[in-house]
A and B are shown apart, each in its own frame.
Chain A
Amino acid sequence: MTTTPSELAAPRTQRRPAARRSNFELYSWLFMRLSGLVLIILVLGHLLIMNILDGGVHRINFAFVAGRWSSPFWQFWDLAMLWLAELHGTNGLRTVINDYARKETTRFWLKMLLYASAVLIIALGSFVIFTFDPNISN
């Protein structure tokens, strides 16, 4: 007597409990690509203007910064670039730490240091853009 194929149960993978799954890594993967797309314009544009065009770094001083930040356009450009680059870079470094740190405690403290530096840079940078004073005394 042989078994006909129809008597066999269809092969299937085991189900995983849905409640324990998080989409965080998917969103972080997507964020790297979306922020990267915007950063192409913001960062390459910034480097072109600040380092290459019209004398590059040699014309940059306080007055130059004051001139640029008198325009809401450049204020917004720099604020968006600050936040996106810092979050993109922090998320990238989180991956690097996960790849190389071997001990759980090392991994934890390296990430805490990373997140603390990200908060500092985003807070300080935003503060500077919002409170910039062109008439500050020397």
Chain B
Amino acid sequence: MATSEVTTAGSGGRARKKAGTLYRGDIGMWSWVAHRITGVATFLFLFVHVLDTALVRVSPNTYDSVIDTYKTPLVNLMELGLVAAVLYHALNGIRVMLVDFWSKGAKYQRPMLWAIIVIWVVVLIPSAYFMLRHNVEKIFGA
């Protein structure tokens, strides 16, 4: 399954000669590397997240005190990182499915990558605003 993008990554790509780089292929490979890293990171977070949510079976106070750490500036910033990672993984997952199932998918894999990067940025900007607003106001006293 991991190869589905790699095999199509060359299509539409120009032949390049850049001596000295680790990999001389298409940016399609980097989209696959990012898909793998974001998938594994999300999986690790899910493990922690189910454990912390399970504290609702211990007591309201225990749960609330752990959830309060999620509201601190540093962890809040990491949540934005999680949202960014999951959003990329989801968008690129759609792209992988289109490459696999859409008859023109392999041909358009490269423009589809640019499209998802644009969507990713456009969605992340307002998300970052709403997620960080509270802590930014608290720190800078707006």
Contact = CB atoms under 8 A, between A and B. Distances in A.
A89 B1 contact: no
B134 A55 contact: yes
B2 interface: yes
Q: Give the bracket for the number of chain B residues in contact with chain A.
A: 35 or more
Nearest to A62: B60
Given A44-B87, A57-B70, A128 B54 contact: yes
A93 to B, nearest CB: 6
B2 A132 contact: no
A58 B71 contact: yes
Interface residues of A, number: 46
Nearest to A63: B60
Given A36-B93, A52-B131, A93 B43 contact: yes
Given A52-B131, A96-B36, A121-B47, A136 B1 contact: no
Nearest to B135: A58
B79 to A, nearest CB: 6
A1 interface: no
B134 to A, nearest CB: 5
Contacts of A89: 39, 42-43, 46
Interface in A89-138: 89-90, 92-93, 95-96, 99, 117, 121, 124-125, 127-128, 131-133, 136-138
B131 A51 contact: yes
A32 interface: yes
A96 B63 contact: no
Given A56-B131, A56-B134, A125-B54, A138 B1 contact: no
A128 B94 CA distance: 31
19 contacts: A36-B97, A40-B90, A51-B127, A52-B127, A57-B70, A60-B67, A61-B67, A62-B60, A62-B64, A89-B46, A93-B40, A93-B43, A124-B51, A124-B54, A133-B57, A136-B56, A136-B60, A137-B59, A138-B59
Interface of B: 1-2, 4, 36, 39-40, 42-43, 46-47, 50-51, 53-54, 56-57, 59-61, 63-64, 67, 70-71, 76, 79, 82-83, 86-87, 90, 93-94, 96-97, 100-101, 127, 130-131, 134
